Amino acid sequence: MKELEERIKAVGTVLPGNVLKVDGFLNHQVDPDLMQKIGEAFAARFKAAGVTKIWTVESSGIAPAVMTGLAMHCPVIFARKHKSLTLTDGLYTADVYSYTKQVTNQISIAQKYVAKDERVLIIDDFLANGQAVTGLMEIANQAKVEVVGAGIVIEKAFQPGRQELEAKGIPVMSLARIQSLAGGQVEFAPADEGE
Amino acid sequence: MKELEERIKAVGTVLPGNVLKVDGFLNHQVDPDLMQKIGEAFAARFKAAGVTKIWTVESSGIAPAVMTGLAMHCPVIFARKHKSLTLTDGLYTADVYSYTKQVTNQISIAQKYVAKDERVLIIDDFLANGQAVTGLMEIANQAKVEVVGAGIVIEKAFQPGRQELEAKGIPVMSLARIQSLAGGQVEFAPADEGE
């Protein structure tokens, strides 16, 4: 997505440890018009997948997920993130390790909002090692519902997240794919095309 | 807002301690089409206020705030919520006490995303004791920018949040106003009219 790549170039900053900071338009300050275009791109890509629900993880996934839901007229669930849960009645839970923050969180989704035969589209802001998406897939597994795809705003193509998802048969659409952040420079890999 | 009141009646649940649970459409599962209407209602109410930025607090405020931003073509900042911060360089911070969770969080906004002469519209999912909005107003104070109003999805009119904001001269627009949750029944007060 050309506009997204240009925005990353213009306002993204590269921090040590291959961290790309995009808090100018995605995960602190949010550009709603860009988010709408992002949502429309995911909706176009997955329109034939019979999506019944969109799942994401709080907080940075919420804006792109809700815009995708708007374009698909489809409800969104944002999994709650906790340090750990003692009361898990009525919840599906999974552990998610964050390499950036070096901390394990538990994510949870209320069982009552997961219907039988649900077809889930996962949306997230970043895909690097695939931990968040894998956690949501683990929950889908517990709930015995199908994940029909993953829509990612920014993929770090030099990390193994995509391979792991594709190995599990999950189609991935990333709107921007980072090839390298070496020397503080953002280099893109070819983005996924819509269908 | 009639559709919102009907949704609260239909899927909201009242828990002990005057807690209204609306995780079916607002703060766990989200209805994007309803959120869009909510955003449009806030945009209509505050269109003459010269809003340059929308502020909210993660996570439940993000969906209505981003939809308001979409309707106003205006960037949104969601304040980050932390247990406490040791590194606060470049951040405005304020303490926010949650009566529901009985815990104090620190919220923060990056200084570099707050311009001089900013005119801030605060959007939040709930207004009860006004702690979150007051925290954002404290940050606005530190940053010497003006808060031009507060758009609230659900106000607990039997708690003092609104009076405290209005006493500070902040116009409040609530789309649903809860008069009482006594006996597990939701009773509405007249909602605010648009302008």
Report residues of chain B scoring pLDDT below 50.
195
- Helix H segments across A46-130? 62-72
Confidence bin at A194 (pLDDT 50/70/90): low
| Angstroms from A59 CA to nearest CA on chain B | 5
- Helix H segments across chain A? 2-11, 32-45, 62-72, 131-143, 161-167
> What is the CATH code of the structural domain delimited by A2-79+113-189?
3.40.50.2020
Contacts of residue B190, defined as CB under 8 A and 6 or more positions apart, other chains included, come to B177
Buried b (16+ CB within 10 A) or exposed e, A16-46: eebebebbbbbbbbbbbebbbebbbbbbebb
**CA-closest candidate to residue A3, choices A19, A21, A26:** A26
| Residue B194 pLDDT | 64
- For residue B107, give Cα distances in angstroms to A24, A166, B80, B170: 17, 38, 5, 20
Whether A28 sits inside 8 A of B74 (CB atoms) is no
Phi, psi of B6 (to 5 degrees): -65, -40
Which amino acid is located at B4 in the chain? L
Task: Work out the average pLDDT over A68-86.
Answer: 94
Task: Work out the average pLDDT over A51-57.
Answer: 98
B2-79+111-189 topology per CATH: Rossmann fold (3.40.50)
In chain A, where are the structural domains located? 2-79+113-189
Instruction: Sort strands A19-21 and A13-15 into parallel, antiparallel or unpaired.
Output: antiparallel
Choose from A26, A29, A91 for mutation: most chain B CBs within 10 A: A29
Phi, psi of A178 (to 5 degrees): -90, 120
3-state secondary structure of A83: coil
| Residue A143 pLDDT | 98
Instruction: Sort strands A76-82 and B29-30 into parallel, antiparallel or unpaired.
Output: antiparallel
In chain A, % of residues over pLDDT 90 = 89
Buried b (16+ CB within 10 A) or exposed e, A55-90: bbbbbbbbbbbbbbbbbbebbbbbbbbeeeeeeeee
Whether A69 sits inside 8 A of B110 (CB atoms) is no
Whether B63 sits inside 8 A of A59 (CB atoms) is no
- CB B139 within 8 Å of CB B86: no
Whether B66 sits inside 8 A of A113 (CB atoms) is no
pLDDT in tens, A1-42: 999 999 999 999 999 988 999 999 999 999 999 999 999 999
pLDDT in tens, A105-130: 999 999 999 999 999 999 999 999 99
